Homo-oligomer: A and B are copies of this chain.
Amino acid sequence: MAVYTEVSDEALRAFLAEYPIGELIAFRGIAEGVENSNFALKTTGGDFILTLYEKRVDPGELPYFLGLMQHLASRGLDCPQPVPARDGQALRLLAGRPAAICTFLPGVWPRRVRPQHCAPLGDALAQLHAAGADFPGRRPNALGPAGWAPLLERCRAEGDQVQPGLVAELDAALAGILAAWPAEGLPQGQIHADLFPDNVFFLDDAAGQPRLSGLIDFYFACTDLLAYDIAVCLNAWCFEADHSFNVTKAHALLAAYQARRPLSAAERAALPVLCRGASLRFLLTRLYDWTSTPAGALVTRKDPLEYLRKLRFFLRAEGPASLGL
């Protein structure tokens, strides 16, 4: 899934010689991640992750992503830290691709989210937002509200094949969301924008409780409404397998977040529409991948209709209280 580019022995050796991280011990492709090629790299200096950035990533945006990770780590957030080569540069070329080595984070992402994961998650998300406050980079959210109408257009011809009436339902939802979207007045900053369970690592503490050990995969990070990051997490962490919303998980997430950064009244009022927008964002990218993947292909396509169910829930949710606030 996540090795699109092979690295020759000579290229790897020459690449590693540029880094002060010791001698090569092991180098193995990692199955996780879908956008880039990732390798577990072990040297006499320790464990690292080597990432080759594939064609879906704009090389011009890599300095923002790597700079943000460096900045957040320097502010104490547990996240991968780009390792500079001897010349001070963390972003290099390998096998014709932009490439970087990052520090290895211990931990395991939760295959099944429990309420005990959600408070550490909310705490770490608020910590991320605080740590990013003085990062000078800016990256517009390419998958934010302005991107949703064009994405829906690209699915218009085939969208109803996934479910009859889907395109009309999404047209109506998009119009309502854009009309209610908070144009200004909400705090902005650096957001992760893709903080799904497979991007959050945990280790059990001595009492068997999950302790958050780090956040990974900052390649959708951007500069946008801080509360939108919460809306993404409510979508990604607080629904059960039967598509029901677990308000206990949501409350744990929100309470822990607010212990570090209380939401303003405007943010609290906007949370339902932000949640609808986040549902729509993942629905649309999944729908696009679904309709543009050849029939019969053996790749795993994520079900867009999962997010239709979430969108419908958030459309029905009238006030912040129903979301756990």
Using a CB–CB cutoff of 8 Å, the interface residues on chain A facing chain B are 1-3, 6-10, 12-13, 23-32, 40, 42, 47, 104-108, 110-112, 201, 203-204, 294-299
Is there contact, CB below 8 Å, between A299 and B298?
yes
Is there contact, CB below 8 Å, between B27 and A30?
no
Is there contact, CB below 8 Å, between B42 and A106?
yes
Is there contact, CB below 8 Å, between B9 and A106?
no
A8–B295 Cα distance when bound, in Å, is 30
**CB-CB under 8 A for A9 and B111, given A24-B203, A24-B204, A203-B25:** yes
**CB-CB under 8 A for A32 and B29, given A1-B1, A13-B204:** yes
Is there contact, CB below 8 Å, between A112 and B203?
no
A28–B10 Cα distance when bound, in Å, is 26
A299–B105 Cα distance when bound, in Å, is 30
**CB-CB under 8 A for A10 and B297, given A24-B203, A31-B3, A40-B40:** no
Is there contact, CB below 8 Å, between A111 and B29?
no
Give chain B nearest CB distance to A284 CB in angstroms. 22
Please, which residues of chain B bring their CB within 8 A of the CB of A9?
Answer: 108, 110-112
Give chain B nearest CB distance to A113 CB in angstroms. 9
A47–B106 Cα distance when bound, in Å, is 12
Is there contact, CB below 8 Å, between B111 and A6?
yes
Is there contact, CB below 8 Å, between B12 and A108?
yes
A106: contacting residue among B8, B26, B112, CB under 8 A: B26
Is there contact, CB below 8 Å, between A111 and B7?
yes
A24: contacting residue among B24, B30, B108, CB under 8 A: B108
Give chain B nearest CB distance to A123 CB in angstroms. 20
Sample (19) of A-B pairs whose CB atoms are under 8 Å apart: A1-B1, A1-B31, A3-B32, A8-B111, A9-B108, A9-B110, A25-B106, A26-B104, A26-B106, A28-B30, A28-B32, A28-B40, A30-B31, A30-B40, A31-B31, A42-B47, A295-B296, A297-B297, A298-B299
**Which chain B residue lies CB-closest to A108?**
B27
